[in-house]
Amino acid sequence: MAIDYDHLMSLTSEGERFSYGDRETMLYALGVGMGRDPLAAKELPYVYEKDLKTVPTMATVIAWGAGPLRDSGINYLMVVHGEQKLTLHRPLPAAADIIADSRVVGAWDKGADKGAVIVTETDIRLADTDDKLCTLTSTTFARGDGGFGGPTDGAPKPHALPDRAPDQTIEVDTRADQALLYRLSGDRNPLHADPEFATAAGFPAPILHGLCTYGTCCRAILGSVADYDHTAITGFDVRFSSPVFPGETILVDVWKDGPIASFRARLKERDAVVINNGKCTLKA
């Protein structure tokens, strides 16, 4: 079924309620690699309920399933997560009841043989106070839905990385069972767990969730640039460029310019950039 541009742009989803507790907060942190060393004093507060802290990118899973694209008519077998942006209006609490309001904010036609780009925005607020908590902006690349007659120009431009050598490179591991752990935070897509499903999709083995790679990059920057201060990060934007296989090592190149830490992630074991055009915004 072809995309109907006017219908797509009218899609909203309002008042969806979710809740999470300290269990989900600790599970997410473990899922992106926190707590590898249980004696690491600065990581323990992310995986232990005493004075519990939140990994900022957990914002991407606290309202998992929210959004209006289920009624968009796109071919989900041909969908790829293209970009993820996060703005934190306040640090995530360790537990909360929340309300999510979502809408489609843009769609661009790349051509019949090139696909469509769809951008959705989700505002999450605290249920008890109605205070705005965070805003998620997600870009979906619908590879099988081009040629629908929408705008061809004006899609958001990615953050440009500095034209100099990185100021530092942070090495972070992933475990062979990383995807099996991370999927418990919401994304149960069998592509990340079932070897037969992964093979049918063209991969030699299940791949790591893109948002797990995203959270792993946040772990790297949180533990270096932000010195494990979860309140220091107010934004985290990326473009996904290639999948990671669980067990591979991620090298995060970082450029620090005032309140902006630009970054990209590549693999140690093979020549692949897995996240590009990264932008971490730090509080002033």
235-252 pLDDT tens trace: 999 999 999 999 999 999
Q: Which residue matches tokens 């742009």? A: 9
**Is 161 part of any domain?**
no
**Is 148 part of any domain?**
no
Q: What is the CATH number of the domain that holds 11?
A: 3.10.129.10
Give the residue from 168, 159, 162 showing the smallest Cα distance to 252: 168
Give the residue from 78, 81, 85, 139 showing the smallest Cα distance to 274: 81
Of 125, 142, 159, which closes a domain?
A: 142
**Is 52 part of any domain?**
yes
Q: Exactly one of 109, 123, 145, 187 is catalytic; which is it?
A: 187
Is 163 one of the catalytic residues?
no
Total-model pTM: 0.96
Is 230 one of the catalytic residues?
no
133 pLDDT exceeds 80? yes
Do 41 and 92 share a domain, yes or no? yes
Domain residues for the domain of 261 are 168-282
* pLDDT tens readout for residues 16-55: 999 999 999 999 999 999 999 999 999 999 999 999 999 9
**Is 157 part of any domain?**
no
Do 198 and 92 share a domain, yes or no? no
Q: Exactly one of 109, 123, 159, 192 is catalytic; which is it?
A: 192
Do 48 and 126 share a domain, yes or no? yes
**Is 150 part of any domain?**
no
**Is 27 part of any domain?**
yes
Instruction: List strands edge to edge, sheet with 116-126.
Output: 12-20, 96-109, 116-126, 132-142, 79-88, 233-240, 273-282, 260-267, 249-257, 168-173
Q: How far is CA 129 from CA 59, 124, 126, 234, in A?
A: 18, 12, 6, 20
**Is 158 part of any domain?**
no
Count of structural domains, the chain: 2
